Amino acid sequence: MKQVVAAGGRASIYPANLMDADAVHDMAAETWKKFRPVDALFCNAGMTGQKRSGDDGYEAEITNVFNLNLHHSRILSESFAPKMAERGQGSIVMTASLSALRGNGNIGVYSLTKAALVQLAKDMAVKFGPKGVRVNSVAPGLIATGWEGAILSDPVKSARRMQMTPLRRVGEPNEIADAALFLASDRASFITGHCLVVDGGTSITDGS
């Protein structure tokens, strides 16, 4: 936020429980009231969930995962897209995941929510494209956000993952931010309904 202000922009923090639909609606309304018009929306919050089928509390956690990963993005997008359409311009970017694009036996319902985000972006791109609003998603691979430690701390898992990644490294958060900024910007003015994979090549290789 300090960087935005230092560059001459306006910035504000609005704490909200993104698992609560009413709170998300309130945040959208307050944001539009304070910063309208809104040119770009980036839906980035997400969680993997820790429980697996059969664990106590699994169904309750599934509800939270879907609310945070999918429904908050849907509510925010449905709040801002029509207003963007009235102006004839706007861009929405959603954070999906490499897990949305291939099968995974250990990641739970996380992959379902991320696959749904990819489809949500496509559906909204079709709906709002004629009115000048673009909607895309970005699908990160393994990124150094802290979660990668579960893989890299195990020498066997780490070696396997690097073998499955042609660039032989973990991605950095700024590389995902740059991809999202590109999709949100006018430099991507003829791109909509697209899922931009940023994974160091993991999705294209057989591990050789």
| Token pair belonging to 107 | 């990641």
Q: Would residue 131 show up in a list of annotated catalytic residues for this protein? A: no
Residue 102 neighbours by CB distance under 10 Å: 10
Look at phi and psi of residue 195 and say left if phi exceeds 0, alpha if psi is from -120 to 50, else beta.
Answer: beta
| Token pair belonging to 47 | 């969680």
Task: Tell me the C-alpha distance between 30 and 28, whole Å.
Answer: 6
Q: Would residue 97 show up in a list of annotated catalytic residues for this protein? A: yes
| Token pair belonging to 15 | 């704490």
Q: Would residue 110 show up in a list of annotated catalytic residues for this protein? A: yes
Catalytic residue among 77, 79, 97, 137: 97
Catalytic residue among 79, 110, 111, 137: 110
Residues with catalytic annotation? 97, 110, 114
